[in-house]
Each structure stands twice: as structure tokens, then as C-alpha cells.
């Protein structure tokens, strides 16, 4: 073990330089103009897996972005771990709020700043580097490892889903290991045991057949922005409950044990308010902040488009307005069913004076895992050893839609070894990753492979 760890220490600078190279590739999955970068990024990941000593390194083309696969299967009789991650990143806008070029990584105050630093390049690179350290020092791994790094996580993992269903044999494993979530708090080793699901919708409201002068027509013809705002405001009541009929029908209530677990974490509302500059918190009445953030469903408007938005004033009654709305889901809510309920209710709220279209953009199922599993125990031990503290178990508010498919299709437990921090600004300007977490993450991964092989 010492030799492996010394290897990571001696190669610290090399590891960081390689991570920077990874971060320089603008692999934004949602923008067609970045298709070439996506391809380059998949090739970069494949080459790093090869350099690490993995075998059968392959790029699988899909209808969307390529999937990178690699394996090392030379430990017969030992368990097999499938390590999942994603090389695609979110768009960078609003670019003017970045302090450095998002694709020219900068190290400052012990953090590396770049798009994808935490979500997810920094976190998946940890595992590639832990395997490298093992193979370069020992010449072998203590168990069998498969890597599956995709390029469409940020857009719903549709093609990975298809790939998974067709390649169950190739991906067969005893456990799936993922670092694409957050630690409960800085320095506190964390295993996440739940993810919320997602239903992502778009509402388009059309009023008159063209933009009109708001003086000549205002008051007589419905304004789609006004009507859209009224609809959105009716989706939640004053107690923070979502008003869509049957929305809560399949929600499993939090058990007494769940609530005790949440309570044990001693979450500070005051610190949350301070960190994000808000004077008061809000949410569903009857639930604590931590419960609201990961144990209960939510509805949020992510974007709203319409009318005149440039400098100064222009009087106009616009023809169209639209909004993007996401609902985070908890077990046993089904994203397809929620999308239907949402569509029906939103349509029922629209007055005859406007036309309304509702689109289901994408979704994912929620999941809560059992903690009673050898892989989870091994991971909890491993992060505790690497961070030098007792491990805590939390549910995550975000979503990784493919996770439920791993557990269903591969019938394997999924370990969420979160190495990011909630303050890392993922999906936001100035995303970063703590270099200490990168280093301790590599140790965590090494300890996990060792512990789980026993």
C-alpha cells in the first residue's frame, strides 16, 4: 500500500498537469458546435486509460456522443467494480462572470478553477489515477475493474441507457462506483445513498400572431408573459406544496429513521443563508432544510424567455413567452407520469386567450439505496481512512439518471463516493475543485479497491 501511495505523492504534479489538459477540452455536450471537442475529449480519456495500464480500451460510437470503455480483468475469483463517470460538461454562460477562461484552468488558493473541474472531470480522473498508481507499482489490481465514461450525462444519458440495455454482459459487475456528487461538508468523508429524479419541462405560451404595440393593444389582448407568470405562480401554494393534482401520490413519506438521520447531521440554516447571501430560507412547510434539499420533491423555474430584454425600454406586447421548469422527484415518483400530470394541469390553467404547448424535455428516476451492502461498507471505510474522519451518509438533491438503470439492469449496488463540495459552483461560473479533495479522492479510490477486494 505504501508504495502505491508514494507513487501518487511523487506524481502529484504530473497528475495535476494531466487534469489541466483534460479541463482544456471544451466538451460541452448540449452544443452541436462542440461535437469535435466531445470527440477529442473521448479520445483523451481513452488514452489516459491506456496509459494507466487498462486493457481493451474502446470507444463506442452512439447516435450522440461516444462512450469510453476499458477493463482490467486479470483477477479471477475476485469481485468486479464498474467505475462510471462523464467527460461532458455544462455550457459556460454567463461567461462574463468567470474570473478566468473556463477552459484555461487556473490554480488558486488550493483549488483548480475550470468548467468540469468538479463535475465531472476532476472526480472521474481520481479513479483513473488510482488505478494507474496500482498498476505502475504492483503491476496488478487487487480486483477486476471496468471503466465506463460517457459524454451525455448533462443531457440525460439517453444513448448510454440504450448501450447499457444492449451490453449487460460486457458491463457485468458486482458493484458500480461513481464520484459525481458532493461531500456533506468540507473535510467530512461522505457516502451518498440517494439521488433525486427529474422531470424537465418547457411551457410555450402564444398570444397574438405577432408582436404588438403595448399601448395600442395592452389591456385588450392577452400578454403571454403575464399569462405564463400567472400559470407558474399557481404551481406552488403558500406552504410550498406543489399543486399539481396527484403529484404526491407516489411519494414515499420519510420514515422516522430517515428523519433521525437528517437530524443527526446537525445542518446549519444560518450558514447556508450566509454562504449564498439570502436573508431567509423557504420551502415546504413541515420539513427541515436538509429534508427539503434532498428528501422531498421540488419545482423550479430554470429559465424564462420572452419579450424585450435588451437595454432600455421598448413598449411591446410580445407574441410568445416560454419557461423551462424542472421538478426534482423522490421515490417512488415516476418522471413520465409526473410529466403527464404537469402537462394536464398546466393546460388546464391556461385561459382561452392564449395557446399553450407543453414539452417533456427529459427526465430521470429517483433512487434511494440500501446501506446494507459490502461495497458501501468498503467505500465508507475507504473515505474515512483517506480523510481521517468518520464517514457520514447523506442523500443528494441532484440527479444522475443512469444510476437507477445500473441498479436495475446490472443488478449491482451503486456506491456514490462524493468528492465535490456544494460550494464548488457546478453548472455555474467559476466552477472549481479542491486539490485536497482530488488527492484524498485518489487515496479513497485506492483504499476502496483494496478494501473491496478482501
Query: x/- binding map, residues 351-380, to ligand BES, per CB under 6 A?
Result: -----------x-x----------------
CA distance 50 to 36: 21
Beta carbon of residue 220, minimum distance to Zn ion (angstroms, whole number): 45
Active-site residue, selected from the candidate residues 71, 150, 153, 174: 153
Q: From the list 117, 254, 341, 400, which residue makes contact with ligand BES (rule: CB under 6 A)? A: 400
Per partner kind, with CB cut-offs from 5 to 8 A, the member of Zn ion, ligand BES, none near residue 318 is none
> 35 or 427: whose CB is closer to Zn ion?
427
- Classified as helix, coil or strand, 305 is strand
Q: Which does 179 bind (CB under 5 to 8 A by kind): Zn ion, ligand BES, none?
A: none
- Nearest residue to Zn ion by CB is 119
Nearest residue (CB) to Zn ion, 115 versus 146:
115
Nearer to Zn ion, 208 or 429 (CB): 429
Output 259 or 427, the one with its CB closest to Zn ion.
427
Mode of pairing for the β-strands spanning 80-86 and 67-72: unpaired
Q: How far is the CB of 90 from ligand BES (least distance, A)?
A: 7
Buried b (16+ CB within 10 A) or exposed e, 35-63: eebbbebbebbbebbeebbbeebeebeee
- Give CA separation, 131 vs 180, 258, 315, 344, 384, in Å: 18, 35, 61, 50, 19
Exactly one of 187, 218, 331, 398 binds ligand BES (CB under 6 A); that residue is 398
CB of 125 to ligand BES, least distance (A): 14
| Per-residue cell: 1 | 500500500
Residue 143, Cβ density class (10 Å: 0-12 exposed, 13-18 middle, ≥19 buried): buried
Stretch that binds ligand BES, among 150-158, 160-168, 244-252, 260-268 (CB under 6 A): 150-158
Identify the residue among 180, 204, 227, 431 touching ligand BES (CB under 6 A). 180
Nearest in space to 365 (alpha carbons), one of 399, 339, 392:
399
Residue closer to ligand BES, measured from CB, 198 or 356:
198
Which residue do the cell numbers 488558486 mark?
108
Is position 431 an interface residue for ligand BES (rule: CB under 6 A)?
no
**88: annotated active-site residue:** yes
Q: What DSSP string runs through 62-115?
A: -SSS-EEEEEE---TTS-EEEEEEE--B----SGGG-SS-TTS-EEETTEEEST
Does 297 interact with ligand BES (rule: CB under 6 A)?
Answer: no
Q: What interhelical angle do 35-52 and 12-23 show, nearest 10?
A: 160
* Cα gap 252→295, rounded to integer Å: 10
Smallest distance from Zn ion to CB 225, Å = 29
Beta carbon nearer to Zn ion, 142 or 398 = 398
Distance CA(244)–CA(253), nearest Å, equals: 18
Query: Which of 71, 154, 174, 450 touches ligand BES (CB under 6 A)?
Result: 154
Establish whether 153 is a catalytic residue. Answer: yes
Please report whether residue 88 would count as binding ligand BES according to CB under 6 A. no
Q: Catalytic one among 18, 37, 71, 88? A: 88
Q: What is the per-residue burial (b if ≥16 Cβ within 10 Å, else e) of 64-93?
A: bbbbbbbbbeeeeebbbbbbbbbbbbbbbe
Which position among 150, 396, 431, 451 is part of the footprint of ligand BES (CB under 6 A)? 396
Which 104-163 residues touch Zn ion, going by CB under 5 A?
119
Residue of closest CB approach to ligand BES? 398
| Direct distance between the N- and C-terminal alpha carbons of the chain, in angstroms, rounded to an integer | 14
Residue 9 in grid coordinates: 505523492
Q: CA of 3: how far to CAs of 10, 131, 133, 230, 434, in Å?
A: 10, 13, 9, 64, 24
Q: Closest separation between CB of residue 88 and ligand BES, Å?
A: 9
- Distance in angstroms (rounded) separating the CA atoms of residues 223 and 354: 8
Beta bridge partners of 60: 67
- Beta strands 144-150 and 106-108 are unpaired
Contact partner, 224, from Zn ion, ligand BES, none, Cβ < 5-8 Å per class: none
* The binder of ligand BES chosen from 207, 335, 401, 413 (CB under 6 A): 401
Closer to ligand BES at the Cβ: 194 or 401?
401
CB of 307 to ligand BES, least distance (A): 27
Partnered with residue 145 across adjacent β-strands are 72, 81
Binding range to ligand BES, per CB under 6 A, among 152-160, 220-228, 286-294, 312-320 = 152-160
In the complex, which residues of this chain contact Zn ion (CB under 5 A)?
119
Positions in the binding site for ligand BES (CB under 6 A):
119-120, 153-154, 156, 180-182, 198, 362, 364, 396, 398-401
Active-site residue list: 88, 153
Amino acid at each position: 500500500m505504501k508504495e502505491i501511495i508514494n507513487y501518487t505523492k511523487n506524481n502529484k504534479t504530473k497528475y495535476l498537469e494531466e487534469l489541466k489538459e483534460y479541463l482544456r477540452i471544451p466538451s460541452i455536450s448540449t452544443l452541436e458546435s462542440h461535437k469535435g471537442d466531445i470527440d477529442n475529449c473521448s479520445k483523451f480519456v481513452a488514452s489516459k486509460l491506456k496509459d494507466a495500464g487498462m486493457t481493451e480500451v474502446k470507444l463506442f460510437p452512439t447516435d450522440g456522443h461516444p462512450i469510453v470503455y476499458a477493463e482490467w480483468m486479470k483477477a479471477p475469483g475476485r469481485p468486479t467494480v464498474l467505475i462510471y463517470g462523464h467527460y461532458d460538461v455544462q455550457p459556460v454562460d454567463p461567461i462574463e462572470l468567470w474570473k478566468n477562461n473556463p477552459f484555461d484552468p487556473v490554480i488558486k488558493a488550493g483549488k483548480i478553477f475550470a468548467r468540469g473541474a468538479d463535475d465531472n472531470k476532476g472526480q472521474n480522473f481520481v479513479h483513473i489515477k488510482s488505478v494507474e498508481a496500482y498498476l505502475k507499482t504492483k503491476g496488478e489490481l487487487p480486483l477486476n475493474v471496468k471503466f465506463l465514461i460517457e459524454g451525455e450525462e448533462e443531457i440525460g444519458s439517453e444513448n448510454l441507457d440504450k448501450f447499457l440495455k444492449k451490453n449487460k454482459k460486457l458491463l457485468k459487475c458486482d458493484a458500480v462506483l461513481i464520484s459525481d456528487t458532493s461531500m456533506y461538508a468540507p473535510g467530512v468523508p461522505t457516502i451518498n445513498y440517494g439521488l433525486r429524479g427529474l422531470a424537465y419541462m418547457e411551457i410555450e405560451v402564444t398570444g397574438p400572431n405577432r408582436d404588438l404595440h403595448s399601448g395600442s393593444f395592452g389591456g385588450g389582448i392577452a400578454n403571454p408573459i403575464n399569462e405564463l407568470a400567472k400559470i407558474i405562480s399557481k404551481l406552488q401554494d403558500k406552504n410550498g406544496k406543489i399543486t399539481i393534482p396527484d403529484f404526491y401520490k407516489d411519494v414515499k413519506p420519510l420514515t422516522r429513521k430517515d428523519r433521525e438521520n437528517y437530524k443527526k447531521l446537525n445542518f446549519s440554516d444560518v450558514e447556508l443563508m450566509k454562504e449564498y447571501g439570502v436573508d431567509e430560507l423557504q420551502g415546504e412547510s413541515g420539513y427541515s432544510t436538509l429534508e427539503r434539499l434532498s428528501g422531498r420533491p421540488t419545482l423550479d423555474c430554470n429559465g424564462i424567455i420572452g419579450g424585450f430584454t435588451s437595454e432600455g425600454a421598448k413598449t411591446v406586447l410580445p407574441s410568445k413567452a416560454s419557461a423551462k421548469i424542472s421538478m426534482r422527484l423522490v421515490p417512488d415518483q415516476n418522471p413520465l407520469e409526473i410529466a403527464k400530470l404537469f402537462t394536464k394541469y398546466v393546460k388546464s390553467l391556461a385561459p382561452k386567450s392564449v395557446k399553450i404547448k407543453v414539452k417533456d424535455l427529459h427526465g430521470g428516476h429517483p433512487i434511494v439505496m440500501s446501506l446494507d451492502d459490502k461495497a458501501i461498507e468498503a467505500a465508507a471505510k475507504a473515505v474515512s481512512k483517506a480523510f481521517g474522519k468518520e464517514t457520514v451518509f447523506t442523500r443528494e438533491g441532484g440527479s444522475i439518471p443512469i444510476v437507477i438503470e445500473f441498479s436495475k439492469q446490472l443488478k449491482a449496488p451503486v456506491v456514490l463516493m462524493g468528492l465535490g463540495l456544494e460550494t464548488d459552483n457546478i453548472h455555474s461560473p467559476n466552477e472549481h475543485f479542491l486539490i485536497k479533495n482530488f488527492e484524498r479522492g485518489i487515496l479513497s479510490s485506492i483504499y476502496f479497491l483494496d478494501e473491496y477486494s478482501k
